[in-house]
Amino acid sequence: MHYSRKMGNVEFRYSIMETQPLRKMSIGKPGWAALCLLGVCLAAARPVMAGAPVRDEPIQPLPSRHEQDERKVALGRMLFHDKRLSKDDSLSCAGCHPLAKGGMDGKARSAGVGGAEGTINAPTVYNAGLLLAQFWDGRAQDLEEQINGPIKNPLEMATTWEAIIPKLELDPEYVRRFGELYASRVTAEAARDAIACFERSLITADSPFDRWLRGDETALGAAEKEGYALFKSYGCVACHQGANAGGNMFQRMGAMGDYFADRKTGLTPADQGRFNFTGREEDRYYFKVPSLRLAALTAPYFHDASVDNLPDAIRVMARYQLGREINDAHVEKIAAFLKALPGKHQELSQ
């Protein structure tokens, strides 16, 4: 399946690798490694940057700036941090996605209204506008649809737009801004649009790796460059490519080993992955491949938060997704490369 997306002067062109036919193939570990390298060609998402020479690599730079209306971004930021979006005015979107801390709270399960515990590891909100779909199971096609999820979830904000809007309409500043930007009163549709505009502005641009991609040979050290070469040679880049270093395809958790059996903690509903959304058996244990852009800052890892450090996350992915073991020296260098992926944003502290 072929897609394209424009963001200002950047055009993202990508193809989603069809994982189901591959899942039915009978291939050994060497064959899977070769297939992963082939996936770089099948699933690469390469932005075409106007007027900027960029190295020809399966991972490409993030846009240097967003193209959102700054007035809507400002309104969306207000809403993102407003606790009135929760049932008891105790929790904002930023509660589970604190922007200074990588856009996620670092907890295995986030706490909702009344201390209710969520069922899955909250991902970062940074660069979320570049993802194929939202949530681990991809059940929301865009950020506007995604916003409804935590608002209505009884384990998160536990409310409805019908309950939220009257509270916001008591605030003269909201009434003024919605009137100016949307020529309307405060509405759920306009609120979702503003929050989505704000979230699309959360691009972590100008990382050391991006500067290297644009020709700055001094932006990366020897370990980071070797780590990237290893990242490609082991086959990690088959699923983690494109400007977001992932986020543009779905893959089975445990493509080359029984991850859930080896975890030995029993299956949870969240472990069913995309099956929970589609009801199709072939989607069981499939998840959206996460972006690695902020992986160095956003432990714990995976949908189940089962790993709390980057080196072990690399080992687990190699074992269960590639069918390979990676020695400690190579793990250290791949981790060095991943630490060169986080870029800059005024909200982000590093």
d(CA 247, CA 293): 10
Active-site annotation holds for 189: no
Q: Which residues of 115-154 are buried (b: 16+ CB within 10 A; e: fewer)?
A: eeebebbbbbbbbbbbbbbbbbbbbbeebbebbeebbebe
Amino acid at the residue 300? P
CA distances, 112 to each of 93, 157, 238, 302 (Å)? 10, 6, 35, 20
Are 239 and 246 in contact by the 8 Å Cβ rule? The answer is: yes
Catalytic residue among 11, 57, 156, 180: 156
For residue 179, the Cα-to-chain-centroid distance in whole angstroms is 32
Q: Which residues of 5-36 are buried (b: 16+ CB within 10 A; e: fewer)?
A: eebeebebebeebebeebeeeeeeeeebbebb
Amino acid at the residue 213? L
Alpha-carbon torsion 194, 200, 206, 208, what sign?
positive
d(CA 286, CA 239): 13
Strands, E assignment, the chain? 2-7, 10-15, 45-49, 250-252, 286-288
Active site residues: 156
